[in-house]
Structure 1
Amino acid sequence: MKPINRFVCCIFIIFFCAGCAQKKDASLDLPTIENASTKINGVSFVAAADSLSARHIVALQTVHPNYVTVMPFGFIKGLNHPEIIYNQKRQWFGETYEGVAQYVNMLHQNGIRVMLKPQIWVWNGEFTGYVEMASEADWLQLEETYKNFILDFAKVAETENIEIFCVGTELEKFIEHRPAFWRELIAEVKTIFNGKVTYAANWDEYKQVPFWDALDYIGVNAYFPISDQKTPTVEETKIGWGRWKTELQTISDKENKKILFTEYGYRSVDLSGKEPWRSDREMTSINLKAQANLLEGLYKSVWNEQWFAGGFLWKWFIANDKVGGARNTQFTPQNKPAQKIIAKYYGP
C-alpha cells in the first residue's frame, strides 16, 4: 500500500468506524431482515469450478432473489469416519475460502445478501443424518474436526460481512448423541460471527432439535410430503400444506422464533410432491407442470404467514445456459416453467 499522510488516514478511520457502527444491512439497498413485511426470497447456489461473473448474476436476477445460499462442502469417507476434509486445492473454486469470498463479494455488489451454509458430503452420497461414530474417541475426533470446519468458515463469514451463517445441515444422529457439543459450538460461532445464526434441520428432524433457543431462526429443509397425485394442482398443493402449516406455526410459537426454509424445492417429475426429498435417478418421468404447481402452491400457502421468515430454493447453478430445460428431471427450476413462477412470487 502506498503511504498516505496522517490527516487522510485520520479521516479514513473516522468514516470506517462510523460505517462499522451501522447495521450490516445498511450497505445494501434492501429492507432490513427484521422488517416483518420482507421475506427472505432465496436460492441455493451450487458451487462451481469457475468464479462468479456478471453474466451469472444477470441470469440469477431473472428470478429476483434478495438472498443466496453459498455452500462450501467438507468431505468424510463414510458414515462412521471422524475426519472432515475441506478447503482443498482439488475442490471446486466455489467451495474454498477464496471462492466463497469471491462469490460473496459479487453477490453483495449486486445487492444480494448471503447465507453461508457449510455442509458435509459423505462419500457415495450417503445421508448425513446417519453420521454416527462407533467409539468415544471417534466422537471426540469428529467434534474437533467439525468444529474446525465450522469455525473456519464462520471467520470467512465475518470477514466478508455475510448476513446469515448456518452451523450444520441434516445431522440428526450427531445432534442426538452430542447435544452439549452443539450448544458449545453455537456459542463459539457467536464469538466470531455477528450476524444471524441458524441450523438446517431435515423436515422430519426439526421438532427434536434441542437448541433452537440459542439460534435466530428455526431452519427447516422443507421436503414435506404434500401430495400423492402425479400432477397435483395448485389447490391440492395448498390443501397438502395445511397439516404442516399448523405444525410449523406451533413450533414457531413454542420457541418464539420464525421458521426459515433453509432448503425447499421439487423435482420436475411425476409424483414429485409425494417424497420431495428423493434425488435418485429412478424417477425419470418428466413433469414440468408438477414442479410449477407445487412451487406455486407453496408460495400461496406459507409465504405470507407471520411465523415464516422466507426460504432458499433448491437449487441454482451458475451456468444458467447449460442446465435445466424441458428434458431435465432434477430440482433446478432453470429454463423450465417453474422459473417464471419463482420470478412472479419473488419479484417486486
Structure 2
Amino acid sequence: MTWGWTGVRGTWGGPEAERSMDLMVERLGVTWTAITLSALQDTPQSTQIQFRDRPTVTDDEVRWAIRAAKERGLKVCLKPVVNVRNGTWRAHINFFDIDVPPEPTWSQWFASYTEFIVHHARIAAEEGAEMFCVGCEMVQSDRREAQWRALVADVRAVYPGLVTYNCDKYQEDHVGWWDAVDVISSSGYYPVDDWENQLDRIEKVVAAHGTPFFFMEAGCPSRVGSPALPNDWALHGAPSEQAQVDWYRAAFSACARRDWVRGFMLWDWPARLYDEADAATDGDYCMFGKAAEAVVHAEYTRAR
C-alpha cells in the first residue's frame, strides 16, 4: 500500500501517523509499503524542484516513516515524486527536444530533478529501504532515454537496493530504457472490464525484458462510475463502496491468472485518516473502513 501521500510537512510523525500505519498493517495485511512524497515545481516548464521547502516533508520525517514501517515488519520502497504547483499533472512536464535559447531546457530540469532524486536515494540507502523508485508517470519525459539512464546510474552510485520506475498506465510498451532498472512497474488504473486486454499487452513487455513486474500504483475511488475510469480522481459520482469492491475483485482476479504480476502497491493510505464513521460518504481511493478493505486483506492473505 502507498502510504503518506502527498507528504505534507508536519503530518509524518506523531500519534495520527502512528495510528495510520498501524491500521494499514492490521486492516490490509500488507507486507510492503511505498513511502511516497511529493516536491513542487511551479509550472510544467519550470526547471527548479523545490524539495527542501514547504509543503514537502523534511528529511527527518522521511526517515521517521521508513523506520516506522520497518518496525512494523514492512519492506519499503521510497518514492519521491515531482508535482506541479499550479495543479497541472506531472505527465505534462515538457520542454523542447532541441535547446532553444533562452527557453527552459530538459538539461536544466534533469539537473534539478537528479538532485532531488539522488538526495532521497541516499536516505533510502542509509535507512535500508529495499526498493527505490526514480520517477512516477513522467510521460513526456519518458522519451529522454539518455537522461534517464544517467539518472539511474547516479542513483546506483549511492543506493544498493532494487531500482524501479513507475510508468503511467498504457505506457508500459513506450519506455525504451527498462533494461536500466531492476523492476518494471506501472500505474494500473485500468477499466474494470479491460484488464485482460491490458495484461496481454503488458505481458509482451515483461517477456521481452525478462524483468520482474508489479503495479506500483493501482486503485479505484469508491464512487459510482469510477470502475470504468479509475484514474480520474475528479470524476463526479455518488459514494459507492460496491463500485470500489467490484473494481478490486476484477483486478485481483485477472492478475492472479498471470504469474508474472508480482504484486501491487495500492493507492492510497494517508498519514491522517478520515474518521471511520465517515467511510461510507468518502468517495476517494483510500479504502479505510470500507468494504474493499476486506477484499484487499483477503487477497493479500491468500497470496502469501
Q: When the two structures are superposed, what TM-score results if normalisation uses the length of structure 1? A: 0.79
The answer as to whether partners of 2:44 and 2:84 remain within 8 angstroms in 1 is yes
Alignment deviations for residues 200-238 of structure 1 (CA, whole Å, 9 cap, x no partner): 1011222111111111111110112234xxxxxxxxxxx
Which residue of structure 1 lines up, in the alignment, with residue 24 of structure 2?
Answer: 60
1:188-337 aligned at under 5 Å gives the runs 188-227=154-193, 240-280=194-234, 282-303=235-256, 305-322=258-275, 325-337=279-291
Secondary structure at 2:45 match in 1? coil
The structure 1 residue matched to 2:115, chosen from 141, 148, 152, is 148
The aligned residue for residue 43 of structure 2 is 78
Match of 1:187?
Answer: 153
Among 126, 134, 140, the alignment partner of 1:159 is 126
Give the RMSD, CA atoms, in angstroms: 1.8
For 1:141 and 1:322, the matched residues in 2 are separated by: 44
User: When the two structures are aligned, how many residues end up with a matched partner?
Assistant: 290
Q: Residue 96 of structure 1 corresponds to which residue in structure 2?
A: 58
State whether structure 2 residue 294 is matched by structure 1 residue 340.
Answer: yes
Aligned residues of 1:74 and 1:84 also touching (Cα < 8 A): yes
* Residues 2 and 36, structure 2, Cα contact 8 Å, conserved in 1: no
SS at match of 1:310: strand
Q: Secondary structure at the match of 1:117?
A: strand
Deviation at 1:321, TM superposition (A): 4.9
Amino acid at match of 2:119: D
Shift in Å, 1:179: 1.6
State the percentage of identical aligned residues: 22
- Give the match for residue 2 of structure 2: 43
Match of 1:38 in 2: none
Kindly provide the amino acid, as one letter, of the partner of residue 2 in structure 2.
V
For 2:21 and 2:142, the matched residues in 1 are separated by 36
Q: Distance in 2 between matches of 1:74 and 1:58?
A: 26
Structure 1 position 159, deviation (Å): 0.4
The residue that corresponds to 1:16 in the other structure is: none
**Alignment partner of 2:153: what SS?**
helix
Moved more, 284-293 or 107-116: 284-293
Distance 2:256 2:83 in 1: 30
User: Does the 8 Å CA contact 2:39/2:51 hold for their aligned counterparts?
Assistant: yes
After the TM superposition, list the runs of 4 or more consecutive aligned residues in structure 1 that deviate by more than 4 angstroms.
none
Q: What runs of 5+ residues in structure 1 fail to find an aligned partner?
A: 1-41, 228-239
